[in-house]
């Protein structure tokens, strides 16, 4: 079996603002093996989020080839991409992106509902929340939780469908250093315990130092180190 | 996704914006209440009118002079002799009673009080033909007719206006158009009708009416009322009368110069008029429902804009277009369906209030809220929500996930 989860070849992403073309990625090629932990670093505006959105099938690439978990996802339609995001990708955002009117449990359960799963959803969501250490907060709504706890809910939500990869775009960016550390421990622990493939965008060299591999991006081009 | 859960989620979302949801619903509430109340009132009015017409008597026929389809023919007027001929049991065995009438209006006075009223010049058979009952006194007799007696029966409205009472008036003298008349009886109330109160009338002998109150050619009458022996024999009575009158008016070959209406003709006419009236009212009510629907569309569009980020997040974790579409359509239909239910209740209350107001005004009129109208209102209001939800829901479903997530 092929151990490669992500195979990206020469992809570009060009934003069009009226007549002006803004190149955000200018030919990026790399592979990610199953179970790897990768950090992505680079100056602001270098294209990190753009790359993450493409890896997560949230956005379409302008040219190039992308194979995710042995499936060519370069030319899928909107609903097929939605299904890929649901099944193969778990997102952790800098600003958590939880539904503020729903409980932690309902937030974590949501991907199961979009997956069309009808049975044991509550139990599965509860287990996921327990695994991120929030077993006693399942009925709290996001405004009733601390930043670190909200990010744990988001991680539980990202885990719930057993995705091939978890993408975290500056997951500690909105947290103080202590809860930031706890979140990093949690993410790295998932990799250690379950072999989850992790890609983390960060500005913090200390976090990058804890990952086995770091990809540097400058102006839409990558330069690997530690690989 | 499970249906109940979808509804529950839509409910929570509407509930979290209580005030806005209620105000949005108001448009539909008013629209549906208007539909329900208008249909109920229209149906009630129709029932009342048809009942009143039926109340005149189901085996009644009316003969007028002239032909409503062809006004160019020369008309010989209806006469007392025509009435007598129709009254011949051998020529018209299905006719039970004949009552020739001349009618007009005038002013009746008693010591300073006056009232404008309808005046009927009648014969004794008029009482049985129109089912008049008397509070006191006697009806006009043959002798009254033959002697052109200056006697009068008055309706209760007239009695109340002139005397402030409707009893113990027999023997009083009133003046009609300046001529003195002695009261011989008071007519029992028949209730209001769509053609004005049936109690604002006075009856005088037909001969007296002709010679003193209204100028008519000798022997001419305005209408001949007749009563068939039963409701079933109305068609036979009609053809017997036609035959007699054609012979007498020598219209055997040409067009009839008279027209016979039956009770049924009036019923048909009245129900077609009231149906138009009902459709007109419902149309107006329907427009307000439409306005309510536009209100829903407006608020749903605001809601989509406000929740762009939420939509982006849902898409990021796997919501398909269909999921977002259903979510927003459920919200808009739920919103308008609740408006529909509240509107039905409000419409019901309005109908009941109108009904009791009518009762206090002495009009026997009961608005009818029927199941059909309720079903129609529920289905229609939900459909309005669905229809006006389509555009906003589509807008939400077609958002680009990255753009939506970046939205603040
Ligand atoms: N929707 C867009 N339309 C036009 N240009 C865009 C759009 N999104 C990103 N860009 C441009 O693409 C480039 C890369 O942006 P991106 O968000 O990927 O940077 P980043 O590395 O994530 O930066 P940061 O560290 O600040 O998050 C930037 O120059 C940005 O201006
Ligand atoms: Mg970024």
| Surface-to-core class of residue A195, CB atoms within 10 Å of its CB (0-12 exposed, 13-18 middle, 19+ buried) | exposed
Q: Quick one: pLDDT at residue B377?
A: 83
Q: How far apart are CA B390 and CA B115, in angstroms?
A: 63
Instruction: Tell me what pLDDT residue A226 has.
Output: 53
pLDDT score, position B194:
45
Q: State ipTM.
A: 0.94
Closest CA to A67 of A49, A54, A86, A52: A54
Strand, coil or helix: what is B251? coil
Tell which one of A14, A22, A93 to mutate to probe ligand 1, the residue whose CB is within 8 A of the most ligand atoms: A22
A220 lines ligand 1 (CB under 6 A): no
Tokens of B299: 């608020």
Residue ranges per domain, chain B?
3-53+268-406, 96-227
Q: Rounded to a whole number, what is the distance in Å from the CA of A97 to chain B's nearest CA?
A: 7
- Higher-confidence residue of A175 and B71: namely A175
Compute the nearest-CA separation of B359 from chain A (Å).
52
B299 burial via Cβ count (<10 Å: 0-12, 13-18, 19+):
buried
The gap between the terminal CA atoms of chain A, to the nearest Å, is 22
User: Quick check: B172 and B129 in contact, CB under 8 A?
Assistant: no
pLDDT of residue B191: 62
Taking residues A124-147, report their average pLDDT: 95
Number of Cα atoms under 13 Å in the Cβ half of residue A60: 11
Q: What's the gap in Å between the CA of A52 and the closest CA on chain B?
A: 11
Q: Using an 8 Å Cβ cutoff, are B78 and B101 in contact? A: no
**A176: pLDDT strictly greater than 70:** yes
For residue A114, give the nearest of B16, B317, B402 by CB distance: B317
**pTM score of the predicted model:** 0.74
pLDDT of residue B65: 85
Contact A58 B316 (CB under 8 A): yes
Q: What average pLDDT does range A119-145 have in this prediction?
A: 94
Would you say A170 and A121 are in contact if contact means Cβ atoms under 8 Å apart?
Answer: no
Going by their DSSP bridges, the two strands A213-218 and A37-41 should be labelled as parallel
pLDDT at A136 over 90: yes
Write down the domain spans for chain A: 4-226
Q: Cβ contacts (< 8 Å) between A93 and chain B: which residues?
A: 405
Q: Report CA-CA distances (Å) from B33 to B85, B344, B376.
A: 57, 5, 12
Low-confidence ranges of chain B (pLDDT < 70): 1, 56-57, 70-72, 191-197, 251-254
Partner residues linked to B119 by β-bridges: B104, B202
Q: Is A202 in the pocket of ligand 1 (CB under 6 A)?
A: no
Contact A110 B314 (CB under 8 A): yes
Instruction: Judge whether A88 and A68 are in contact, CB under 8 Å.
Output: yes
**Per-residue pLDDT tens for B275-320?**
888 888 878 878 888 888 888 899 899 999 999 999 999 999 999 9
Residues 315-334 of B with CB under 8 A from A: 315-323
Find residue B107's DSSP bridge partners.
B116
Residue nearest (by alpha carbon) to ligand 1 atom 22: A49
Which of B57, B55, B76 is CA-nearest to residue B65?
A: B76
pLDDT at A225: 65
Q: Which residues have a Cβ under 8 Å from the Cβ of B142 and sit 6 or more positions away?
A: B124
Show residues of chain B in contact with A58, CB under 8 Å: 315-316, 401-402, 405
Query: Hunting for tokens 């407006």 — which residue is that?
Result: B298
**Nearest of B321, B289, B279, B308 to residue B387 by alpha carbon:** B289
Residue B169: C-alpha distances to residues B134, B166, B184, B186 (Å): 12, 7, 8, 8
Residues 6+ apart with CB under 8 A from A41: A48, A201, A202, A203, A205, A208, A214, A215, A216, A217
Mean pLDDT (chain A, rounded): 93
CA distance readout (Å), B171 to A114, B138, B168, B185, B313: 92, 11, 9, 9, 94
CB within 8 Å of B288: residues ≥ 6 apart: B27, B30, B31, B34
Q: What is A119-186 written as a DSSP string? A: SSHHHHHHHHHHHTT-TT-TT--GGGS-HHHHHHHHHHHHHTT--SEEEEESTTTTS-HHHHHHHHHH
Phi, psi of B93, deg, nearest 5: -65, -20
Neighbour count for residue B97 (Cβ, 10 Å)? 20
The answer to whether the CB of A47 is under 6 A from ligand 1 is yes
User: Averaged over A199-216, what is the pLDDT?
Assistant: 93
Q: What is the pLDDT of residue B233?
A: 86
Q: Does domain A4-226 have CATH number 3.40.50.1820?
A: no
Half-sphere exposure of B291 (CA within 13 A, CB side): 13
Task: Give the model's pLDDT for residue B196.
Answer: 55
Please identify, by atom number, the ligand 1 atom nearest to the C-alpha of residue A50.
18
Q: What is the token pair recorded at B154?
A: 């008055």
Answer whether residue A227 shows pLDDT above 50. no
pLDDT of residue B1: 54
**Beta strand extents in B229-298 (DSSP E only):** 258-262
Please tell me the distance between residue A10's alpha carbon and the centre of ligand 2 in angstroms.
21
CA A14 to chain centre: 22
Q: Which atom of ligand 1 is nearest to the CA of A53?
A: 18
Maximal CA-CA distance, chain B = 103
């Amino acid at each position: 079996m092929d151990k490669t989860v992500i195979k990206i070849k020469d992809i570009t992403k060009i934003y069009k603002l009226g007549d002006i073309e803004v190149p955000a990625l200018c030919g990026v090629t790399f592979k990610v093996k199953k179970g790897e932990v990768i950090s992505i670093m680079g100056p602001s505006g270098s294209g990190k989020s753009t790359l993450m959105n493409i890896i997560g099938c949230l956005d379409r690439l302008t040219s190039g080839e992308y194979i995710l978990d042995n499936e060519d996802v370069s030319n899928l339609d909107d609903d097929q991409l939605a299904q890929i995001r649901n099944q193969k990708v778990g997102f952790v955002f800098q600003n958590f992106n939880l539904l503020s009117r729903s409980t932690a449990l309902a937030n974590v359960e949501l991907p199961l509902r979009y997956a069309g799963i009808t049975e044991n959803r509550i139990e599965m969501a509860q287990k996921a929340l327990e695994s991120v250490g929030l077993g006693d907060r399942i009925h709290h709504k996001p405004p009733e939780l601390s930043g670190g706890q909200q990010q744990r809910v988001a991680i539980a939500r990202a885990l719930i469908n057993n995705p091939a990869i978890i993408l975290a775009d500056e997951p500690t960016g909105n947290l103080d250093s202590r809860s930031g550390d706890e979140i990093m421990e949690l993410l790295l622990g998932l990799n250690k315990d379950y072999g989850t493939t992790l890609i983390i965008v960060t500005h913090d060299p200390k976090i990058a130092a804890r990952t086995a591999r770091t990809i540097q991006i400058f102006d839409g081009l990558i330069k690997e180190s530690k690989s | 996704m499970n249906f109940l859960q979808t509804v529950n989620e839509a409910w929570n979302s509407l509930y979290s914006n209580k005030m806005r949801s209620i105000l949005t619903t108001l448009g539909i509430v008013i629209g549906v209440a208007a539909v329900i109340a208008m249909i109920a009132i229209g149906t009630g009015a129709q029932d009342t009118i048809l009942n009143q017409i039926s109340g005149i008597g189901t085996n009644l026929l009316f003969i007028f002079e002239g032909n409503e389809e062809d006004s160019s023919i020369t008309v010989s007027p209806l006469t007392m002799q025509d009435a007598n001929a129709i009254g011949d049991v051998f020529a018209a065995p299905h006719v039970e009673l004949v009552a020739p009438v001349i009618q007009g209006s005038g002013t009746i006075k008693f010591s300073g009080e006056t009232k404008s009223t309808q005046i009927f010049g009648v014969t004794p058979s008029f009482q049985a033909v129109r089912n008049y009952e008397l509070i006191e006194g006697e009806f006009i007799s043959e002798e009254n007719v033959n002697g052109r007696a200056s006697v009068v029966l008055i309706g209760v409205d007239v009695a109340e206006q002139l005397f402030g009472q409707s009893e113990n008036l027999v023997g009083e003298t009133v003046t009609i158009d300046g001529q003195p008349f002695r009261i011989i009886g008071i007519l029992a109330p028949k209730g209001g009708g769509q053609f004005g109160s049936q109690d604002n009338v006075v009856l005088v002998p037909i001969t007296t009416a002709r010679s003193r109150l209204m100028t008519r050619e000798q022997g001419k009458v305005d209408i001949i009322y007749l009563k068939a022996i039963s409701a079933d024999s109305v068609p036979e009575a009609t053809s017997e009368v036609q035959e007699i009158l054609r012979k007498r008016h020598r219209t055997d070959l040409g067009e009839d110069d008279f027209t016979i209406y039956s009770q049924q003709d009036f019923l048909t006419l009245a129900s077609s008029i009231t149906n138009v009236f009902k459709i007109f009212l419902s149309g107006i009510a329907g427009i307000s429902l439409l306005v309510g629907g536009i209100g829903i569309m407006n608020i749903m569009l605001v809601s989509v804009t406000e929740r762009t980020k939420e939509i982006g997040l849902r898409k990021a974790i796997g919501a398909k277009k269909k999921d977002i579409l259903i979510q927003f359509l459920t919200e808009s239909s739920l919103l308008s369906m609740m408006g529909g239910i509240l509107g039905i209740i409000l419409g019901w209350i309005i109908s009941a209030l109108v009904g009791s107001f009518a009762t206090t005004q002495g009009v026997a009129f009961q608005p009818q809220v029927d199941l059909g109208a309720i079903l129609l209102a529920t289905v229609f209001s939900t459909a309005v929500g669905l229809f006006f939800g389509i555009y906003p829901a589509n807008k939400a479903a077609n958002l680009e996930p990255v753009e939506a997530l970046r939205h603040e």
